[in-house]
């Protein structure tokens, strides 16, 4: 398939249009590619600038775990018989029984990364080392330009993932001693610092703190700041996890903008809380350092804090911090700063020429419709699907792995114009909407 659609004339134009061109190959587009592998009448291909699939390599710290079930893989929730499931990966590697006997409470993230890489190495509808430099639109086709060729496509799907969010106060200091946790595996091993500040109280911040406490013999002072009221665990109960169900997405789509923001705020710990294993590991490590190993580490765990300013201070940094609990202002010093400050969705640079045709909300976020399409001024039959971009339109699960396969199935159904995958709402244990909204939520599921 790759050769057919990369066969361009001397002007760099493809002879035949793809039905779908994917930009970026992360887990979301890998899920879509896996599902399309069994759909014969869609001409789809996916392109990635990196030389091979690599899932968050900068965050693969020792012993990090997946926060969702391994059954919420690329395909299983909508196509459990697919050859690209996590179970198929275990069987292919002859370690299903060993995996089951290990009785993991949470799957090691390295294991899941190996599974994703295994799928990516076998699918034929993927091309790596293929950076999309520019995207334009003419008449009824998208034109994608690469370094040495071009293709055309009727529809696009963005799967470039989210980018690290860096607070404005940190931007001037970015470097080897002030970096986002997405670069932790590269920067932490060689970090020569006795005073370290970690900013962010979610799972990523916890993983960095755990790694520092376990590996940095030179660590003398650790400041861990969080904006939250405390270092709080992920809300992983049965009813709380209903927000990761298709039924909740259908309900969420009925809300207005203010209601959606309130719902996101109320459910934040279902997604961004600390794993119990991480909390226990940090607390026990601090206990051991203080009482059993007699190591004099000044560990300050400081919730309810906002870092409002950072200044260069000799060979380190001076942090001005507001305590939201009592209103006080504090000063901390650090030789290094790790930013566990989350991620945000951004359109890829290749979309610069189309940006004026895409609708953004008042927070400069691209607007998605219920079918995961960007609202833009082009023809309705030429769609720009966006993966992992709908946290504020479709709910908190959109930025997680949980509904990845289900979202990909929606995109497949939209491309085909029919319900190839059965996505009608299941019976829910929780009633989210008043009865007047039921028909609307179901129509979204089945109207193609």
**Could you tell me if 208 and 157 lie in one domain?**
no
In a domain, 86, yes or no: yes
**Could you tell me if 211 and 335 lie in one domain?**
yes
Instruction: State percent of the chain over pLDDT 90.
Output: 81
In a domain, 430, yes or no: yes
In a domain, 176, yes or no: yes
Contacts of 299 (CB under 8 A, 6+ apart): 213, 221, 222, 224, 286, 289
Predicted confidence at residue 271, as pLDDT, reads 87
**Could you tell me if 113 and 230 lie in one domain?**
no
Q: Which residues of 313-344 are buried (b: 16+ CB within 10 A; e: fewer)?
A: eeebbebebeeeeeeeeeebebbbbbbbbbeb
pLDDT at 185 over 90: yes
User: CATH number, domain at 176?
Assistant: 3.50.50.60
Q: What is the CA radius of gyration of the chain?
A: 23
Predicted confidence at residue 448, as pLDDT, reads 63
pTM reported for the whole predicted model: 0.92
pLDDT band at 9 (very low <50, low <70, confident <90, very high): very low
Residue 409 lies in domain: 2-164+345-446
**Could you tell me if 44 and 158 lie in one domain?**
yes
Q: Which of 38-47, 376-385, 401-410, 425-434 has the lowest mean pLDDT?
A: 425-434
Q: Which residues of 127-160 are buried (b: 16+ CB within 10 A; e: fewer)?
A: bbebebeebebeeebbbbbbeeebbbbbbbbbbb
Predicted confidence at residue 424, as pLDDT, reads 81
pLDDT digits (tens, 9 = 90+) for 60-83: 988 899 989 999 999 999 999 999
The total of structural domains in the chain comes to: 2
**Could you tell me if 180 and 322 lie in one domain?**
yes
**Could you tell me if 199 and 330 lie in one domain?**
yes
**Could you tell me if 7 and 129 lie in one domain?**
yes
**Could you tell me if 18 and 61 lie in one domain?**
yes
In a domain, 223, yes or no: yes
**Could you tell me if 152 and 187 lie in one domain?**
no
Burial of 21 (0-12, 13-18, 19+ CB in 10 A): buried
Predicted confidence at residue 15, as pLDDT, reads 53
Query: What is the DSSP track for 231-274?
Result: -PBP---TTGGGGGSHHHHHHHTTS-HHHHHHHHHHTTHHHHSB
Predicted confidence at residue 436, as pLDDT, reads 60
Helices (H) and strands (E) in the chain, counts: 14, 17
**Could you tell me if 215 and 138 lie in one domain?**
no
**Could you tell me if 295 and 214 lie in one domain?**
yes
pLDDT digits (tens, 9 = 90+) for 301-349: 999 999 999 999 988 999 999 999 999 999 999 999 999 999 999 999 9
């Amino acid at each position: 398939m790759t050769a057919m659609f990369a066969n361009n004339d001397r002007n760099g134009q493809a002879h035949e249009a793809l039905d779908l061109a994917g930009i970026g190959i992360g887990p979301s587009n890998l899920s879509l590619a896996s599902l399309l592998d069994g759909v014969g009448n869609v001409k789809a291909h996916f392109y990635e600038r990196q030389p091979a699939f690599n899932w968050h390599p900068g965050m693969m710290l020792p012993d990090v775990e997946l926060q969702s079930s391994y059954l919420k893989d690329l395909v299983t929730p909508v196509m459990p018989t697919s050859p690209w499931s996590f179970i198929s990966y275990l069987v292919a590697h002859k370690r299903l029984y060993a995996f089951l006997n290990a009785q993991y409470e949470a799957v090691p993230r390295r294991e899941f990364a190996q599974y994703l890489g295994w799928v990516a190495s076998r699918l034929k509808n993927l091309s790596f080392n293929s950076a999309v430099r520019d995207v334009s639109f003419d008449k009824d086709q998208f034109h994608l330009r690469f370094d040495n060729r071009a293709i055309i496509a009727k529809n696009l799907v963005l799967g470039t993932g989210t980018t690290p969010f860096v607070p404005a106060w940190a931007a001037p200091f970015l470097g080897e001693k002030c970096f986002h946790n997405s670069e932790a595996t590269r920067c932490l091993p060689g970090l020569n610092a006795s005073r370290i500040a970690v900013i962010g109280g979610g799972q990523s911040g916890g993983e960095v703190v755990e790694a520092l406490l376990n590996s940095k013999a030179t660590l003398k002072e650790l400041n861990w700041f969080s904006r939250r009221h405390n270092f709080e665990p992920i809300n992983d109960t049965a009813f709380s996890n209903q927000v990761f169900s298709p039924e909740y997405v259908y309900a969420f789509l009925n809300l207005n903008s203010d209601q959606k923001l309130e719902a996101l705020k109320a459910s934040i710990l279902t997604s961004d809380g600390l794993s119990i294993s991480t909390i226990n590991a940090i607390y026990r490590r601090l206990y051991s350092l203080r009482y059993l190993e007699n190591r004099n580490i000044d560990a300050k765990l400081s919730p309810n804090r906002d870092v409002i300013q950072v200044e260069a201070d000799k060979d380190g940094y001076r942090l001005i911090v507001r305590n939201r609990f009592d209103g006080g202002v504090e000063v901390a010093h650090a030789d290094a700063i790790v930013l566990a400050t989350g991620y945000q969705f951004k359109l890829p640079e290749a979309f610069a020429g189309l940006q004026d045709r895409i609708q953004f909300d008042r927070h400069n976020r691209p607007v998605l419709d219920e079918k995961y399409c960007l609202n833009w001024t082009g023809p309705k039959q030429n769609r720009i699907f966006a993966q992992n971009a709908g946290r504020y339109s479709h709910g908190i699960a959109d930025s997680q792995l949980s509904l990845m396969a289900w979202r990909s199935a929606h995109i497949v159904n939209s491309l085909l114009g029919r319900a190839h995958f059965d996505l009608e709402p299941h019976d829910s244990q929780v009633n989210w909407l008043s009865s007047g909204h039921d028909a609307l939520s179901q129509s979204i599921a089945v109207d193609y």
